[in-house]
Structure 1
């Protein structure tokens, strides 16, 4: 198993601060080229993301590879919004991709954030923006202000002071006409401490994957790629929705191993759709 001495990171938002240290421990140095990654999508909506999170990360990694000439690229993509089950609770998801164009290997790590520093509101008055500022922590995240409507446009980002946020909102309201103004926590990594910390956790996971060789072919990156549901009921044997096993796989040769993840071999009848419909 041999890792490259150098890889390229597609970012313009300081993510190397979180990603580089764990990779450097493996002997992999990161290069950050001049690359406008806002062209792949912005959180304030003036540039819509094209495709899925993985497709966006792949596009960033390939762009970084193209401009640098380095064959191994790294990129992340984040998505933030309402919780899929509890719509009034914020929820985030981060994806980190390692792409080796010499082998075609992709290693993907994903993490969910149940407590992101994410909040947003559409306002028509400066007073509504003040109420928003009262419920967030400006020491932990910057703020972005943008125009909504048919043609979303950024007004200001990276705002750290209350007065400059309110001034940007006032300016945006003057331009907005009948449209509302978006005031949002700035989710760019260098402006949101919580998000940068989650990216760091993903980088640690990636480093652990890269340090694990495939038992079959010896390639780096052997690790969990999915979970299998179907933990059987202890009473009737029906497969439940609970996780039964973790699947570890090599993304080069596709060798895989299933490992039980539950601390018990069966689900209780109370968790069974047949015994407790």
Structure 2
């Protein structure tokens, strides 16, 4: 629906030699929408797997790729916007689900509240409008008035729908939000392309235990020792690598080689 194949297909073709068919006639909005009129059930991994299942049902193929994203407050940095993008390869022949994700530290994501387009010029420059589209709705909609205008990409149409939504809002204001659908947000689309590369690298790595594809990092272990007192800090000590199929796993050191933590990150030194 949202053109993700434009950044996913070339990566899987070039890196893994996979030919991808886009599943026809699937409405992934039934699994949830960014604008909230259809709530997403479960986690983003659940949603991505559900999308992959729809693809398998539509094509009859045993392997499917799907992605899902979630945007809001940054999961690690206070007062900063962030996003999580997740992609899965579902392989019914091998009975595995291989998952990869990344945290987007610099998404084009935001909103403004206005009664007319003239007062949000700074916001529009910040989100690189019209390259990035917006969604407009009443800021305080009256009962039964939940009109949502998606994919707005011209100044003329934006002015029109802001006036329309402001007039129908109890406070006389319209809510303007970045349209986070991939085909309306080129920054997000590029992030999905980077994630596809990461998933291909994971799929190209076999498990040392069973040989199936998809071996990679599955978590972290905190407790990097404090440089002052040696107590476990809040920082990552090891990366946990594991298999998509068997129980094989291992601990690996931090990729940056850091061996101790600043006392500011230690609950003993800085309670």
Q: Does 1:256 align with 2:246?
A: no
Q: SS in structure 1 opposite 2:61?
A: coil
Match of 1:14 among 3, 6, 27: 3
Return the offset for 1:212.
Answer: 0.6
Q: Is the 8 A contact 1:228 1:244 kept in 2?
A: yes
What does the per-residue CA deviation read over 1:79-120, in whole Å, with 9 as the maximum and x for residues that have no partner?
112335433x32211111111223331111111112111111
Q: State the distance in 2 between where 1:54 and 1:263 align.
A: 30
Deviation of 1:224 (Å): 0.8
Give the structure-1-normalised TM-score: 0.86
> Is 2:260 the partner of 1:266?
yes
Q: How many pairs does the alignment contain?
A: 265
- Which 5+ residue runs of structure 2 have no aligned equivalent? none
In structure 1, list runs of 5 or more residues that go unmatched. 1-11
SS of structure 2 residue aligned to 1:74: strand
Matched, 1:185 2:175: no
The residue correspondences of 1:198-277 to structure 2 (distance < 5 A) are 198-261=191-254, 262-277=256-271
What is the distance in 2 between the residues matched to 1:41 and 1:192?
18
Q: Is the 8 A contact 1:238 1:274 kept in 2?
A: yes
**2:164 maps to 1:171:** yes
Partner residue, 1:29: 19
Task: Give the CA deviation at 1:127.
Answer: 4.5
> Post-superposition shift, 1:139?
4.3
Asked if 1 retains the 8 angstrom alpha-carbon contact of 2:116 and 2:159, the reply is no
CA distance in 1 between counterparts of 2:195 and 2:87 reads 7
Question: In 2, distance between residues paired with 1:190 and 1:152?
Answer: 27
**What TM-score results when the alignment is normalised by the length of structure 2?**
0.88
RMSD value over aligned CA atoms? 2.3
Partner of 2:78: 86
- Tell me if structure 2 keeps the 8 A contact 1:53–1:79: yes
Listed as ranges, the matches of 1:94-113 within 5 Å are 94-113=85-104
Q: Contact 1:45–1:152 (CA<8 Å) still a contact in 2?
A: no
Q: For residues 36 and 256 of structure 1, what CA distance do their matches in structure 2 show?
A: 37
Separation in 2, partners of 1:177, 1:276: 48
Cα 1:126–1:140 shift into 2, 3 Å? closer
CA contact (8 A) 2:167 2:173 kept: no
What's the offset of the Cα at 1:172?
A: 2.6
2:130 and 2:154 in contact (8 A); partners too: no
